[in-house]
């Protein structure tokens, strides 16, 4: 496994674990973009990250930040800070990391699936979508150039059980936010409280081009449900997605729109692929071989 | 890119592809979906939905269409997309089409030809009628080794003749065995076997042949 040379990938902050994965004083090794790293927990909330050389010895020290239930590092020179997600600072929210799930596919397939509403009725049947209500109504996508984020707004979809707190079906309103090529989140309205939104993040750690770890931190409004059942709900959803994600071909994401044909419901996917193409991403991307 | 020569390759026995089901197979490194509507012949398509690349062998059959499990896009016989559930009122553009391969059912075996311009004839094992399915076996060896194994195996006095590149016929007394040879990948070959003639209608005799095929697999895999 070679370390990627793609600067676009190297220059991003990327999740590489969650704090509870390691006790204070402990350490673990993992891989990021083909590069082995060692993460050390030096105190309750202080961490160090090092590159490992070809012989497993520690070499360069890397920047590190612990935020949003994850540990982030970068192998390059970050072109942007970590995103601001103020919901994680609201006192009455349930904040949890949900651990990590291994997925054998491109990081961008995972991000794109997270942005997709059209699969709810088929993959998350009777939970996030109903078999008889499959329509994806028109929504807007935006490239917010000031923060270089892709947004999909005014999204809505009928959901039989939108969250653990749901007591019946509802028209759920969504906003999606792609904060970097490896991180995405959504806001969805809380059951019975249209003034507040649950915040659900998905941070992807690309081990290599087609092997990832996915982290799903939540900051949600739900006074009643046990934290374990909130986590169970998210993990059930993700397990359903994983079956899809590991059976898409090619595993690498095609950016050429003639290879995979989109429809209107795929507006967010189209915007995401264009954005990756404009960044000249090579890592995790499918290149059609010349005939 | 896996090769797709102009050749008919057996991929399953008829009875293995149930009405209203979609099933995965691999032919020479190419992933295919073998599916059958509620009635009618089996279809062989590339195992990839043109929308987001999901394997169509995970799909489900409804109203004569193969639907992708990911977003429910429905494809008619012939491959055209006729239904996009995210937009129930939209007539899907004609350009959205699954990649359909030629397929035939003959001798109780489903055959496909993945070539873009298929001209080769099906292997000729005589009349179509009267063949009984025995079983499929998958051998962890490439085709050349398996063909060698077929030639040297003890067929109880029967002799083996190849009919074209993709099949072999064994004549054992009054019984004929037709063996379709499916190259799966570099390390695996499928054999789909049907029989006719003396004893082929007898369930016990068919079971005995199925056991013999198990021994065939063992004998080929025992060779290094």
| Distinct helix (H) and strand (E) counts, chain A | 5, 18
**Residue A43 domain flag:** yes
**Residue A160 domain flag:** yes
User: Is A248 in contact with B69 (Cβ distance < 8 A)?
Assistant: no
Checking if the pLDDT of A291 tops 60, the result is no
What residue of B is the nearest CA neighbor of A260? B51
Checking if the pLDDT of A228 tops 60, the result is yes
Residue A121 has its nearest CB partner, among B53, B58, B85, at: B85
In a 3-state reduction of DSSP, which class is residue A24?
Answer: coil
Mean pLDDT, residues A41-53: 95
Domain ranges of chain B: 9-113, 132-222
Cis peptide before A73 (omega within 30 of 0): no
**Residue A290 domain flag:** no
Mean pLDDT, residues A29-39: 97
Residue A249 has its nearest CB partner, among B55, B69, B85, at: B55
Domain B9-113: top CATH class: mainly beta
CA-to-CA dists, residue A219 to A14, A67, A73, A117, A222, angstroms = 19, 12, 22, 21, 10
Mean pLDDT, residues B90-114: 97
**Residue A54 domain flag:** yes
**pLDDT (tens digit per residue) in A15-27:** 999 999 899 999 9
**Residue A81 domain flag:** no
CA-to-CA dists, residue A241 to A109, A207, A260, B49, B211, angstroms = 11, 19, 19, 16, 41
In a 3-state reduction of DSSP, which class is residue B146?
Answer: helix
Mean pLDDT of chain A: 95
**pLDDT (tens digit per residue) in A72-100:** 999 999 999 999 999 999 999 999 998 89
pLDDT at B3: 77
Q: Are residues A134 and A12 in the same domain?
A: no
User: Is A248 in contact with B53 (Cβ distance < 8 A)?
Assistant: yes
- Torsion A217-A223-A227-A228 (CA) sign: negative
- Gap between the Cα atoms of A267 and A152, Å rounded: 8
Q: Are residues A33 and A130 in the same domain?
A: no
- Cα angle: A139, vertex A115, A3; to 5 degrees: 140
Tell me the CATH number at A46: 2.20.25.680
Q: Are residues A20 and A45 in the same domain?
A: yes
What residue of B is the nearest CA neighbor of A120? B71
Q: Are residues A29 and A158 in the same domain?
A: no
Mean pLDDT, residues B157-174: 91
Say if residues A108 and A284 touch (Cβ distance below 8 Å).
yes
> How many Cβ atoms from other residues are within 10 Å of residue B197's Cβ?
16
Mean pLDDT, residues B190-196: 98
User: Is A261 in contact with B50 (Cβ distance < 8 A)?
Assistant: yes
Q: In what order do the strands lie in the sheet with B175-185?
A: B132-139, B188-197, B175-185, B167-172, B159-162
Q: What is the CATH number of domain B132-222?
A: 3.30.530.20
CA distance A213 to chain B (A): 21
User: Is B71 in contact with A118 (Cβ distance < 8 A)?
Assistant: yes
Q: Are residues A42 and A106 in the same domain?
A: no
Task: Out of A44, A73, A102, pick the residue that ends a domain.
Answer: A73
A262: contact with B, CB 8 A cutoff:
yes
User: Is B87 in contact with A249 (Cβ distance < 8 A)?
Assistant: no
Say if residues B114 and B14 touch (Cβ distance below 8 Å).
no
Q: Are residues A148 and A17 in the same domain?
A: no
Q: How many domains does chain A have?
A: 2
Residue B72 has its nearest CB partner, among A122, A244, A250, at: A122
Q: Are residues A216 and A98 in the same domain?
A: yes
A290: contact with B, CB 8 A cutoff:
no
Residues of B in contact with A249 (CB under 8 A): 31, 47-48, 53, 55
CA-to-CA dists, residue A201 to A73, A243, B68, angstroms = 17, 20, 27
Q: Which residues of B36-48 are buried (b: 16+ CB within 10 A; e: fewer)?
A: bbeeeebbbbbbb
User: Is A134 in contact with B72 (Cβ distance < 8 A)?
Assistant: yes
CA distance B93 to chain A (A): 10
Q: Are residues A182 and A51 in the same domain?
A: no
Size of interface A-B (CB pairs under 8 A): 69
Mean pLDDT, residues B176-183: 97
Tell me the CATH number at A174: 3.90.380.10
Spell out the long-range contacts of A73-76 with Cβ–Cβ below 8 A and sequence spacing 24 or more.
Answer: A73/A13, A73/A14, A73/A16, A73/A32, A73/A37, A73/A39, A73/A49, A74/A10, A74/A11, A74/A12, A74/A13, A74/A14, A75/A3, A75/A10, A75/A32, A75/A33, A75/A35, A75/A51, A76/A7, A76/A10, A76/A11, A76/A12
Residues of B in contact with A291 (CB under 8 A): none
Checking if the pLDDT of B1 tops 70, the result is no
Mean pLDDT, residues B153-166: 90
User: Is A249 in contact with B95 (Cβ distance < 8 A)?
Assistant: no
Q: Are residues A91 and A151 in the same domain?
A: yes
Q: Are residues A267 and A193 in the same domain?
A: yes
Q: Are residues A149 and A180 in the same domain?
A: yes
Checking if the pLDDT of A287 tops 90, the result is no
**pLDDT (tens digit per residue) in B58-94:** 999 999 999 999 999 999 999 999 999 999 999 999 9
**Residue A80 domain flag:** no
Say if residues A68 and A200 touch (Cβ distance below 8 Å).
no
Beta bridge partners of B138: B190
Counting every residue written for chain A, the total comes to: 291
**Residue A14 domain flag:** yes
Query: pLDDT band at residue A1, thresholds of 50, 70 and 90?
Result: low
Residues of A in contact with B74 (CB under 8 A): none
Mean pLDDT, residues B37-64: 97
pLDDT at A217: 97
Task: Name the interface residues of B facing A (CB cutoff 8 Å).
Answer: 1, 31, 47-48, 50-55, 58, 69-72, 84-88, 90, 92, 95-96
- Gap between the Cα atoms of A178 and B14, Å rounded: 48
Maximum pairwise Cα distance, chain A: 59
Checking if the pLDDT of A290 tops 70, the result is no
pLDDT at B54: 98
Residues of A in contact with B87 (CB under 8 A): 135-136, 263-265
A105: contact with B, CB 8 A cutoff:
no
CA-to-CA dists, residue A282 to A6, A7, A78, A196, B170, angstroms = 6, 9, 17, 38, 53
- Torsion B207-B209-B212-B216 (CA) sign: negative
**Residue A221 domain flag:** yes
Domain extent, residue A175, equals 86-284
pLDDT at A100: 93
Q: In what order do the strands lie in the sheet with B9-13?
A: B9-13, B109-113, B100-106, B42-46, B30-36, B21-27
Give the pairing type, strands B65-67 and A47-52. Answer: unpaired
Counting every residue written for chain B, the total comes to: 224
Q: Are residues A167 and A96 in the same domain?
A: yes
Report H helices in chain B. 143-152, 203-222
């Amino acid at each position: 496994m070679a370390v990627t040379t793609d600067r676009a990938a190297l220059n991003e902050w990327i999740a590489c674990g969650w704090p509870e994965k390691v006790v204070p004083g402990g350490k673990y090794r993992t891989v990021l973009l083909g590069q082995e790293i060692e993460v050390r927990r030096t105190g309750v909330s202080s961490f160090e990250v090092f590159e490992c050389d070809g012989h497993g010895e520690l070499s360069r020290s890397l920047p590190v930040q612990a935020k949003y239930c994850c540990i982030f590092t970068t192998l390059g020179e970050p072109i942007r800070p970590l995103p601001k997600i103020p919901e994680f600072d609201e006192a009455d929210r349930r904040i949890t990391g949900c651990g990590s799930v291994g997925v054998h596919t491109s990081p961008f397939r995972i991000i794109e699936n997270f942005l997709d509403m059209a699969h709810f009725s088929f993959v998350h049947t009777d939970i996030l979508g109903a078999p008889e209500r499959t329509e994806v109504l028109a929504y807007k996508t935006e490239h917010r150039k000031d923060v270089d984020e892709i947004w999909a707004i005014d999204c809505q979809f009928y959901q039989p059980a939108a969250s653990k707190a749901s007591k019946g079906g509802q028209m759920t309103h969504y906003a999606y936010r792609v904060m970097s090529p490896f991180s995405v989140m959504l806001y969805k309205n809380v059951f019975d409280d249209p003034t507040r939104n649950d915040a659900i993040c998905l941070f992807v750690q690309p081990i290599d081009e087609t092997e990832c770890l996915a982290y799903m931190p939540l900051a949600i409004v739900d006074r009643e449900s046990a934290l374990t059942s909130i986590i169970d709900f998210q993990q059930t959803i993700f397990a359903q997605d994983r079956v899809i994600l590991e059976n898409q071909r090619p595993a690498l994401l095609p950016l050429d729109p003639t290879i995979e044909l989109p429809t209107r419901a795929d507006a967010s996917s189209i915007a995401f692929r264009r954005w990756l193409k404009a960044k000249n991403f090579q890592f995790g991307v499918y290149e059609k071989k010349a005939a | 890119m896996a090769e797709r020569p102009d050749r008919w390759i057996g991929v399953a026995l008829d009875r293995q592809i149930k009405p209203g089901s979609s099933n995965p197979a691999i032919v020479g490194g190419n992933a295919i979906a073998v599916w059958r509507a509620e009635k009618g012949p089996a279809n062989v398509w590339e195992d990839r939905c043109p929308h987001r690349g999901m394997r169509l062998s995970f799909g489900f059959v409804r109203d004569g269409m193969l639907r992708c499990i990911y977003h429910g896009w429905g494809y008619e016989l012939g491959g055209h997309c006729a239904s996009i559930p995210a937009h129930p009122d939209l007539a899907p553009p004609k350009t959205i089409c699954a990649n359909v391969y030629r397929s035939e059912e003959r001798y109780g075996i489903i055959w496909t030809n993945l070539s873009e311009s298929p001209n080769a004839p099906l292997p000729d094992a005589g009349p179509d009628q009267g063949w009984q399915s025995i079983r499929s076996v998958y051998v962890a060896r490439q085709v050349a080794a398996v063909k060698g194994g077929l030639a040297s195996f003890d067929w109880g006095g029967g002799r083996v003749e190849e009919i074209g590149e993709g099949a072999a016929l064994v004549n054992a007394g009054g019984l004929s065995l037709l063996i379709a040879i499916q190259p799966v990948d570099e390390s695996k070959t499928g054999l789909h076997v049907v029989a006719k003639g003396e004893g082929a209608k007898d369930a016990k005799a068919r079971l005995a042949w199925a056991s013999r095929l198990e021994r065939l697999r063992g004998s080929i895999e025992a060779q290094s």
